Structure 1
Amino acid sequence: MRFPAYATVSDRLFYYAYIAVCALIFAFLVAPILVIIPLSFNAEPYFTFTEEMLRLNPEGYSLRWYRMLGALGMQNPDETGLVQWWSDLWANATWVDAAKNSLIIGFWTTLLSTVLGTLAALGLSRPEMPFRRLIMAILISPMIVPIIIVATGMFFFFSSPCDVIGLECGRLTSTYTGVVLAHTILGTPFVIITVTATLSGFDRSLTRAAASLGADPWTTFRCIVLPLIFPGIVSGALFAFVTSFDEVVAVLFIAGPEQQTIPRQMWNGIREQISPAILAVATILVVLSVALLATVELLRRRTERLRGVAS
């Protein structure tokens, strides 16, 4: 960095000290996450670095735990036929089944959370909306209330048979519908906050100009409002998906054996049999999370460019 001519020695020292403190804080936050990546390649069934790993000996590293993710639950993991092996993997592998459940639940959760959260944010952004602060506090309460309390409440609520317009419906526990609704409750607040933040910088004169030119409300929303807030909507959808994909407490309360997700499978693996295969799953999730965060950052920069904040 090139300092200005008027910068004193103390200014320079403060700057370098500030950079050093930020680097230490960053290392403190990231180190516990990054340490699991090399451990997932451990050739031994340990959660610690072996002497071979510390010496960077190739014999100390292996992909055995990644291979185990596919072999667990397969009927014939030693099948030589490629088509048969992939068919067995897709149909019977425990971790693949958990990944499919997580993706299915995450997809529907993201869809519902995005629609409900965007509609709520559009309503709360209007100045004539009564009790905006109270409604906002209620809608984002699942983020504030401890998850164990929210999960317990959802369990008792979903366990009771409901009566909708005189039609009896069964219990929602141990069903995909119940898990999706539970995750939607947890993911919608992230969409509301993200879209609301995007709408805070929205120029209302654009909608008034469209109305003055004869555009109806739907055309105004589709052609003006939606393109400008779309990056915020996508960011909120990504947060909702990550919330659903990482959630384990609500799944433990609501889901049944058929709704086994990746976090719940990891929980079961830690509780029943500690295996470094869990570190392999964690590494894959870290890579996925980094990719999603990078996408969110790209969308944030695009939003700034649309607003004219950044060049």
Structure 2
Amino acid sequence: MSAASIRRLAMYAYAATVLAFILVPLLIIVPMSFTSGTSLSFPTPGFSLRWYQELVDDPRWLTSFVNSVIVASASTLLSCLLGIPAAIGLAWGNFPGKRIVYALVAAPLVAPIVIVGVASFSFFAAAGLTGSRWALILSHTALAVPIMLTTVVASLSGFDRTLVRAAASLGAGTVRTFFRVILPLIAPGVVSGAIIAFIISFDEVVVASFLTTGEQRTLPRMIFSGVRESVSPAIAAVAVLLIAFSAVLLGIIGWLQSRAVRLRSRASA
């Protein structure tokens, strides 16, 4: 066996070990969510759908889910409106301080989330918006814009700008060129960024703990409160649904990325 084959097998073994370390605890959560008991235990005393039924019957879970969807959808939309023009300006623009601007926009990605939560609370408390849904939406938008910016900049890196000049030579204005030429070609990056931004906002709990009240409680904060107050198997049921939801969204991202690769290969052929 050659050295290259040994290195390849070692990499596969390492990847399998890391995946097992991550996935095995998640797999244990699945049978625990179907337990017939009243506490989280493994192995389970029996199987039942009572805890999934409790998610439907308890209005707190439904309210927190709706709040999370509203906040995540609004922050994703705002991140698209802010991130796409910023990405075009940073990818195609040539101005002094370009790297500094990019670093400032991407700062929320590297800042500790607790610091972001404290800063958000201080700012919105001074503005009298603590406890409002808009405070959480704007904070999550600040976290989502760098994601959108990064994915769109990556899509624009392989963009053929002669298509823009061709559209202009045919009489298309700036707005029409954007919607008919640029946006369709960078759509995989935009959709991928939007999905990741939605997941980040939907799963975020630290900033939500600083800014939300009981009425505006999001689903992750509801889970956190449940773990702290009384560990119920309903939390495992919610976790399983969130894992399945995130897996579907990540599968869509993978499909979009593979589709983008196929489109680029066809365009270069």
Same fold (TM over 0.5): yes
Aligned length: 268
Residue among 224, 237, 255 paired with 2:194: 237
1:1-311 matched pairs, under 5 angstroms: 8-50=1-43, 53=44, 60-72=46-58, 93-161=59-127, 171-308=128-265
Runs of 4+ in 1 over 6 A off after TM superposition: none
For 2:240, the aligned partner's letter is T
Does the 8 Å contact 1:228/1:306 carry over to 2? no
Structure 2, gaps ≥5 residues long: none
Tell me the alpha carbon deviations over residues 130-158 of structure 1, each in whole angstroms, 9 at most, x when there is no partner.
32211111111111000100110111100
Give the number of the structure whose alpha-carbon radius of gyration is greater: 1
For 2:51, the aligned partner's letter is W
Tell me the alpha carbon deviations over residues 48-87 of structure 1, each in whole angstroms, 9 at most, x when there is no partner.
313xx5xxxxx72111211122233xxxxxxxxxxxxxxx
- Measured after TM superposition, the shift of residue 235 of structure 1 is 0.9
1:20 is paired with a residue whose SS is helix
Structure 1 distance, partners of 2:115, 2:106, is: 15
Tell me the alpha carbon deviations over residues 19-75 of structure 1, each in whole angstroms, 9 at most, x when there is no partner.
22221122112222222112111222332313xx5xxxxx72111211122233xxx
- Measured after TM superposition, the shift of residue 230 of structure 1 is 1.1
Q: Percent identity?
A: 43
- Measured after TM superposition, the shift of residue 13 of structure 1 is 4.1
Structure 1 distance, partners of 2:67, 2:94, is: 42
Higher relative contact order (CA 8 A, sep 6+): 2
Structure 2 distance, partners of 1:18, 1:255, is: 44
Q: Which has the higher helix share?
A: 2
Does the 8 Å contact 1:45/1:276 carry over to 2? yes
Structure 1 residues 38 and 129, CA gap change in structure 2 (3 angstroms): farther
2:215 is paired with a residue whose SS is helix
Structure 1 distance, partners of 2:116, 2:209, is: 12
Does the 8 Å contact 2:39/2:231 carry over to 1? no
Tell me the alpha carbon deviations over residues 119-177 of structure 1, each in whole angstroms, 9 at most, x when there is no partner.
1111111142332211111111111000100110111100113xxxxxxxxx1111111
Structure 1 residues 261 and 9, CA gap change in structure 2 (3 angstroms): same
Does the 8 Å contact 2:40/2:231 carry over to 1? no
Does the 8 Å contact 1:120/1:192 carry over to 2? yes
For 1:126, the aligned partner's letter is W
Does the 8 Å contact 1:194/1:233 carry over to 2? yes
Structure 1, gaps ≥5 residues long: 1-7, 54-58, 73-92, 162-170
Structure 2 distance, partners of 1:17, 1:123, is: 43
Tell me the alpha carbon deviations over residues 101-129 of structure 1, each in whole angstroms, 9 at most, x when there is no partner.
11111111111111111111111111423
Structure 1 residues 14 and 153, CA gap change in structure 2 (3 angstroms): closer
